[in-house]
Structure 1
């Protein structure tokens, strides 16, 4: 699928890996619908990038909020005549904690819900609300493609570390969802892939302590550095453009395998 003159719906697009993806797809001629809670950042990005971007203040855990953002995007598409090419639910959080702590107390359910509602429920909600506007677009030649869903999994889906119960569960679910979506949407000419980054520079990893960061850097194979937003965005672009990428969760980790202990 060509990027130019297609609309890309990106949640979590005002920062981190989502913002890197916004910049890359915009640079290649895409129209970008940015969904994020951070209105200040979102408005600044639109001011910077111009008329091929639109920002919608969105809480991905609130269906009404997501519905309003999708409706706003569809209204914008009617003005631009640039159909949806991809949905990229990149909003995500991590809130570490074992299911039972050292005092033999169970983790608060609200802490689990916080992670799962953003990382999984919010992803499913955005996809399901966007799909009716993708299945009705004109298919492209020669394969009859209408679009692609690109989700964000994690290395935690493969080798989750202690304290990542909710996070690994949510990202493992994204990994498992990928093939199901590809099969469900094949008849509509819509692909589904997911990307599983390892240790990347992001708002989430910026909250790590220096000790944890140094421990992670020791297990990196090559390159000997955290991934950058640009590395992730290039993979997203490749997923858009390569029609044979479908039903797969792609590890983007420089051969890193997370240890059981840091």
Structure 2
């Protein structure tokens, strides 16, 4: 495996669809074993960037590498290094949770598919539900199963494209815990989201993508320092990520 401190590196990435400039000179760096949140409104270009990084789409200009491999020139190596989970859980509802995991492990030609399935069921707190059909799962359970399926083969980098879309608050918390455990185990997570609270709760680093450009990139504490100091009255109100986002994006419409 190529040795680099960055799991993902993007420099000057451009992408247009006909007359629409979706990405315009995007630069990001994601440290290994970290959770990186890409925050932006609908149409900001988040999914386009993920599709380029996962080799599903070619950039017009710029460079990108994942796990030390060039996305354009070493696409097969990139695909071996990643897993991509979209906005909707891609589980087979007819199969049980365990059968879904065993099926994916067999498709990837891995030995001991049953042991792999049992380990992932345990890691994602699905052991008791493993024998039930996925059709009976709650939204949070399906999403956790979907993420578990994407980890078969131990990819060092995982892309989660708006993983909690449509989930209720309890299910969202379940997914958040699963994502935290991924990073704690050394997996690099690039998370796209529209939910400010999600980025604030999970991410080691946050980038805001607006109109095809990264307008700010840093830790939550660094982003909060972009706003004026809090006024001290009876209670000192600290800025939230929502305050930062609306200040930066709202002023650029």
Give your verdict on TM over 0.5: no
Relative to its length, the structure with more strand (as a share) is 2
Q: TM-score, normalised by structure 2?
A: 0.30
TM-score by length of 1: 0.29
**Which has a greater percent of helix?**
1
Larger radius of gyration: 2
